[in-house]
Structure 1
Amino acid sequence: MVYSVIGEGAMVLHLLFLAYVALGGFAAWRWPRMFWPHLACAVYGLGVTVIGWPCPLTHLEDWGRRNAGQAGLPPEGFIAHYLTGVVYPTEHLLTAQLLVALTVTLSWAGALYLHLQRKRPENAA
């Protein structure tokens, strides 16, 4: 039971982390200090995707599921298991990755624009 909760909890945290990587930059529009944690998460997500850094949440979920007597994650990992072929077609993995990168870039561009607007003197036209 405990291992099953660990596996399920890691899956939920993983989904929340991925949502934050994709959309968390927009939080910096409202709360500018959120840019820095989002930058760290986005860089880590990029490292996992491009360089192949290990993901501790993937290992934790796999460990929890296997110890609960369930099938673990496939060697391809969390995204291949839960998203690729489910949320988007397998052949569009690169497209999905590029859309996430574009979303992050746009959120950061918007955060920069708002930051510059806030720093601008009020009486400047």
Structure 2
Amino acid sequence: MHPRLGDALRWLLTVPAAFAGWYAGIVAGMSMLSLAERLCPPEVMVSGLCTAPWFGPVQRGIFCAAAALAATLVVLLPTLVAPGWRMRVAWIAFALGLLAASAFAAATGAYAELASAALAGALSAHAITRRSGAAATSPLRLGGRHVQVLHVLFIAFVLFGGVLVGAGRGWAWLHLPAVVWASAVNLAGWTCPLTPLEKRLRERDGEPAYSGGFVVHHLQWLLGQPLAARRVERIAGVAVVVWNALVYAGIWLPDWRGPG
């Protein structure tokens, strides 16, 4: 297998690796919950549910532990699969997982589980950062990496922020401006302020700055061939508009039609 193709495959596998970590956390939580239910005395079982006074706190503790385990694995497994950039992969996985967990908490009220997942995920990402030697990296280079991560997180919010809007309509006040900005930047050929900031930090640290925009640069690196920058930007701008129009149609149309 060509090295570039092998790296691309490993990058693609980071996504199922994160889902595998999430699924493993759920399975572990269900197993612990099943064990706790077996310890419940038969006389306090009502319609298959344990009504013992101690069961509620134990159940909440199990949910929090499972959320923490899932968050840890969601951060850890993609970094093991990725061919490089482990620190950035860890923080991106943490941020995307936190976004999904926030949407779930907004829909279900599981804020204790959200706090557990956020703490465990942040600690895992911090541990991977220290292990990767990023703590010894110069502040300028580390700043450039953080700007890269912020850029990826913004793109992820533009593409998947509709999940939060589906959980709580108030998120639209943040998500819609982000969608408008992202589509306008790509369609008009503007430069996102994060791109020159990242390049400036890289240059001041003695690292060569890439040419062109953030998305085109990383697509070229992934595909291993030059791309027509303006064409890619226009396609990206249209894709952002069409994708989010479909997402918002799925969210709002049922509300407009009403019940039945």
Same fold (TM over 0.5): yes
- Cα distance in 2 for partners of 1:103, 1:26 equals 13
Specify the structure having the higher radius of gyration (Cα).
2
1:111 Cα deviation (Å)?
Answer: 2.2
- Cα distance in 2 for partners of 1:31, 1:3 equals 38
Q: Confirm or deny that 1:39 pairs with 2:176.
A: yes
Per-residue Cα deviation, 1:59-85 (whole angstroms, up to 9, x for no partner): 1111111111111121x2111111246
- Cα distance in 1 for partners of 2:254, 2:196 equals 38
Q: Which moved more, 1:27-36 or 1:89-98?
A: 89-98
- Cα distance in 1 for partners of 2:220, 2:176 equals 24
Structure 2 equivalent of residue 79 of structure 1: 215
Of 137, 143, 147, 1:6 maps to 143
Of 227, 240, 244, 1:104 maps to 244
Contact persistence 2:202–2:208 (CA under 8 A): yes
Structure 1 equivalent of residue 55 of structure 2: none
Q: TM-score, normalised by structure 2?
A: 0.41
Contact persistence 2:157–2:175 (CA under 8 A): yes
Of 15, 33, 36, 2:152 maps to 15
What residue identity is the alignment partner of 2:145? E
Q: Confirm or deny that 1:30 pairs with 2:194.
A: no
RCO comparison, higher one (Cα < 8 Å, 6+): 1
Q: Confirm or deny that 1:113 pairs with 2:253.
A: yes
Distance 1:112 1:32, change over 3 A: same
Distance 1:3 1:115, change over 3 A: farther
What residue identity is the alignment partner of 1:80? V
Map 1:32-71 onto structure 2 (within 5 A).
32-71=169-208
Distance 1:30 1:84, change over 3 A: farther
- Cα distance in 2 for partners of 1:22, 1:84 equals 20
Percent of residue pairs identical: 29
- Cα distance in 1 for partners of 2:250, 2:220 equals 29
Which segments of 5 or more consecutive residues in structure 1 lack a partner in the other structure? none
Contact persistence 2:185–2:192 (CA under 8 A): yes
Give the paired residue count: 119
Q: TM-score, normalised by structure 1?
A: 0.79
Per-residue Cα deviation, 1:20-64 (whole angstroms, up to 9, x for no partner): 112212320112111121111111111211123331110111111
Question: Would you tell me which structure has more helix in proportion to its own residues?
Answer: 2
Per-residue Cα deviation, 1:62-120 (whole angstroms, up to 9, x for no partner): 1111111111121x211111124626x84783555443332211111122125436xx4
